[in-house]
Chain A
């Protein structure tokens, strides 16, 4: 199996240099993102840049599950929140309970690991059923976790949650300062993005996509469908967990409000607005939503922001099911997009299950 897949890939990509394989778009984007701090104010660097990257990463974990695995999850913010609460409990906080004071190089990986395990657990529960049930079960899990965190004072410190979570000072840099924080988010997001791209083309990713399209056939030819899906959940958990740690450093606090139903739906909105077809979609969606959050307040007022975002979301679902990526696909100049559009066709066939 592995031989076949890799052989097929090698013939289709004959001896391209790594620069070509990355693609012009990616290089331009990378250059822009790297020099972005030179032109952006602190506000644009952190509140827009860093925050978009973090939200984009959480939405990326959803894109990995939904786009490649056909499992739309509403529990990604819950996974990120699990990492956040782990940081609060094992790192240092101002709330006076727990705060074991572990160093950052210990608690950050530990939080990510714990979040990924929780994600795998949620996945294991959710893959008991198929299709539209996933969205229901993950919503139920996310809501139950929110109510639990709100009611439980012994572990989650109830309604107030944990305050005073400081980003670490390491290598002579305070990582919550605008420029270091931005680059930290950028580096993490790049790793996550590249990992998802790589995973999608790996044997595992191809099997996962095949399972999405026809689980029955894959089971019949001897693939362990459940194991593939749960592994995808675990991978998604790593990404969401890393984003969760960054999110806590950004906010400096974590409370049940961070993982309530509103933020959970927000992540889905980001992923759908951006588009679930390519890993860049969630980041696009995050930038759009964060910009709207920041600037639409002047138009509709802070009070009615949810109405606006809900209407935009509805419009996207009605007009372009593939989000901004789908819009771009529809209106971009038609030059050499053959393999892209065949990919689209494959996707749209699949949606009719």
Chain B
């Protein structure tokens, strides 16, 4: 019975999907058009009544984009590790925080911010390497126990970091060439005497966004254009076949875990310079990574980018327009994604 209905519906369904795809393109174009108009036009009063002010709206969008960049940096490592090893690393937030602290120490010691960034990246790469070799290789194939171990590690790590760095809030200082604000060529309002007020935004945050885009492209190139990348992709598809064809799977695993941890550390330094470094941040960024990869799709770098964009924007827009319910918005996005597409937007079917 099911067969006959699906057969009779076949051609109809196909034409329906075609039109829905066209509709989606059309709707997308209109949305982009409206957005461009929102950015560049002068807002009429009714719109200001609706969205507070153009400045608030654009700042929320920009904050959302930069936050999305940060979330992407954290979540890409998480999703990379999961995609290859089926290892849900719940200590990923701890890696972020450790990277931030190490970056802070290195930058304080040498006086160079870039040294801090490099230290966060490299030290965490080594930490990730050690974690993979000492801990996770022993528990291969038992994903529940691996996850439990990461929980244990996160508990111990949070406590030890609290012991070492205390409960204070640190701020990694950005160098002069990155600080300050720049004027964007977007008019937010016109004064009564006719002068135009331009949108002013911290330069460093735009750099974060740019860095995330560059790193995202770099990751994409690494995975799609290099030999190691092709090993990683093959490992995601069929780990046993990859090892049967003579590739040292453990070597690939170690590289990926080191890279994932290093990205978390890098995000820690970059994020710690934009915001602050304090105990509890690990949980915040763990939650962000979880939601980003649940929404975007586990194991997909593109998915992490899409998820980060959605969650970052939702969080900042929520913060401006319904302050105490911002978390709910994030949560609703997650639930809706799970209900409609359990594997995530870019994820492959389970």
A137 touches which one: B143, B283, B294 (CB < 8 A)? Answer: B294
CA distance A151 to B323 in the complex (A): 8
Tell me if A297 counts as interface (CB < 8 A to partner B): no
Contacts of B293 in A (CB 8 A): 136
Contacts of A307 in B (CB 8 A): 155-156, 159-160, 163
Tell me if B108 counts as interface (CB < 8 A to partner A): no
With A136-B88, A304-B159, A351-B144 as known contacts, state yes or no: A148 contacts B294, CB within 8 Å. no
B144 touches which one: A72, A153, A313 (CB < 8 A)? Answer: A72
Tell me if A309 counts as interface (CB < 8 A to partner B): yes
> Are B152 and A306 within 8 A (Cβ)?
no
Interface residues in A121-139 (C-beta closer than 8 Å to B): 125, 128-133, 135-137, 139
With A128-B338, A135-B147 as known contacts, state yes or no: A140 contacts B156, CB within 8 Å. no
- Residues 307-347 of chain A, each 1 if its beta carbon lies under 8 Å from chain B, else 0: 10111011001100100000000000000000000000000
CA distance A102 to B324 in the complex (A): 28
Contacts of B323 in A (CB 8 A): 151
Contacts of B187 in A (CB 8 A): none
> Are A261 and B324 within 8 A (Cβ)?
no
Contacts of A313 in B (CB 8 A): 148, 151-152, 155
Tell me if B300 counts as interface (CB < 8 A to partner A): no
> Are B152 and A314 within 8 A (Cβ)?
yes
> Are B163 and A148 within 8 A (Cβ)?
no
> Are A144 and B327 within 8 A (Cβ)?
yes
- Residues 326-350 of chain B, each 1 if its beta carbon lies under 8 Å from chain A, else 0: 1110110011001100110000001
Q: How many residues of B contact A (CB 8 A)?
A: 45
With A148-B327, A153-B324 as known contacts, state yes or no: A310 contacts B283, CB within 8 Å. no
With A129-B338, A317-B148 as known contacts, state yes or no: A147 contacts B155, CB within 8 Å. no
**Main SS at interface, chain A:** helix
Tell me the smallest distance from the CB of A312 to a CB of chain B, in Å: 9
B86 touches which one: A132, A265, A268, A303 (CB < 8 A)? Answer: A132
CA distance A20 to B276 in the complex (A): 62
Tell me if B123 counts as interface (CB < 8 A to partner A): no
Tell me if A152 counts as interface (CB < 8 A to partner B): yes
> Are A304 and B141 within 8 A (Cβ)?
no
> Are B338 and A310 within 8 A (Cβ)?
no
Tell me the smallest distance from the CB of A215 to a CB of chain B, in Å: 12
Tell me if A352 counts as interface (CB < 8 A to partner B): yes
CA distance A132 to B155 in the complex (A): 19
B290 touches which one: A140, A309, A310 (CB < 8 A)? Answer: A140
CA distance A314 to B156 in the complex (A): 9
Tell me if B196 counts as interface (CB < 8 A to partner A): no
Contacts of A128 in B (CB 8 A): 338-339, 342
CA distance A155 to B277 in the complex (A): 30
CA distance A306 to B160 in the complex (A): 9
CA distance A269 to B138 in the complex (A): 21
- Residues 282-312 of chain A, each 1 if its beta carbon lies under 8 Å from chain B, else 0: 0000000000000000000001111101110
User: Nearest 5 A-B pairs (CB), nearest first?
Assistant: A310-B155, A310-B156, A306-B159, A314-B152, A143-B287
* Given A129-B350, A307-B163, A314-B149, 14 further pairs, Cβ under 8 A: A128-B338, A128-B342, A132-B144, A135-B88, A137-B338, A139-B290, A144-B287, A144-B334, A148-B331, A152-B325, A268-B151, A306-B156, A313-B152, A314-B152
Chain B residues within 8 Å of A, Cβ to Cβ:
86, 88, 90, 138, 141-145, 147-149, 151-156, 158-160, 163, 283, 286-287, 290-291, 293-294, 298, 323-328, 330-331, 334-335, 338-339, 342-343, 350
Residue contacts A-B, CB under 8 angstroms, 23 given: A125-B339, A128-B338, A132-B144, A135-B90, A136-B88, A137-B294, A139-B90, A140-B291, A143-B290, A144-B287, A144-B291, A144-B327, A144-B331, A151-B326, A268-B148, A272-B148, A304-B159, A307-B159, A310-B155, A310-B156, A310-B159, A311-B152, A321-B145
